[in-house]
Structures are given as C-alpha cells and as structure tokens.
Amino acid sequence: MSPVATPEPRVYTTVTNAPPPPTEPAGGQTPACVADVWHDRRAEALGLRLRTGEPRRVLVGRGTFVIYADDHGIWGIDVEVERWDRNPAEVDRALAETGVKTYG
C-alpha cells in the first residue's frame, strides 16, 4: 500500500487502507471504505475520512474514543461524547439530517 499524498504545510503520518468495497455486503452489513487516515502528532489528532469532498456539517465535542483495527486497517471507531460544543438539540437535528440513527 502506498501512502496518500497530503497537501503542504501539514505534516501527517498518512496511511490508506481503502480496499475496494465488496460486491455484496457480508451478513447484511453496509459496505464502507476509508478514503484517508492521518495522525497529527503535534495535536494528537487522528483523522479518518470516509469520503472525499467537503463536509456540510461539523459537530465538535469532547470525550473518549476507541479505534478498532486489524492487519487490514481500521475496522471502526466508536466515539463517546462527554460534552458537545453546541446545544444538544442542534446536534440531534444535524445527526438526523445526515441519516445517523439515534437511540436512547
């Protein structure tokens, strides 16, 4: 696998692990690919991009995250938000508009 080029002046440890999606989802799962993954050690930030292009919404929060991975790359990321930087109703509305299922 070759690294993904990152625009300067950013300095990232960048890897790609985007295999072609399966032709048929296994076990009823939705196929997913990772477009880009990067780690910025200066800010201890990990970036995971599922698609190219520009986002329409950005939701910021504070909390804990868990990265699941295997020999083929990142399998998934869970994010436990302790606090949002917006009103929770705005967050719920933005997530619903993007098709995220909300429980609880």
Q: Assess whether 18 and 48 both reside in one domain.
A: yes
Residue 6 pLDDT grade (very low, low, confident, very high; cuts 50, 70, 90): very low
- Determine contact, residues 68/48, Cβ cutoff 8 Å: no
Report the domain count for the chain: 2
Q: Assess whether 45 and 59 both reside in one domain.
A: no
* The pair of three-digit structure tokens given for residue 75, joined into one six-digit string: 């399998």
Burial of 26 (0-12, 13-18, 19+ CB in 10 A): exposed
Q: Assess whether 4 and 43 both reside in one domain.
A: yes
* Mean per-residue pLDDT of the chain: 71
Q: Assess whether 17 and 49 both reside in one domain.
A: yes
pLDDT (tens digit per residue) in 66-100: 888 888 777 788 888 888 899 888 988 888 888 88
Q: Assess whether 11 and 59 both reside in one domain.
A: no
Q: Is the pLDDT of residue 21 over 80?
A: no
Residue 71 is part of which domain span? 55-104
Q: Assess whether 60 and 87 both reside in one domain.
A: yes
pTM above 0.75, yes or no: no
Q: Assess whether 46 and 61 both reside in one domain.
A: no
In the chain, pLDDT over 70 holds for what percent of residues?
67
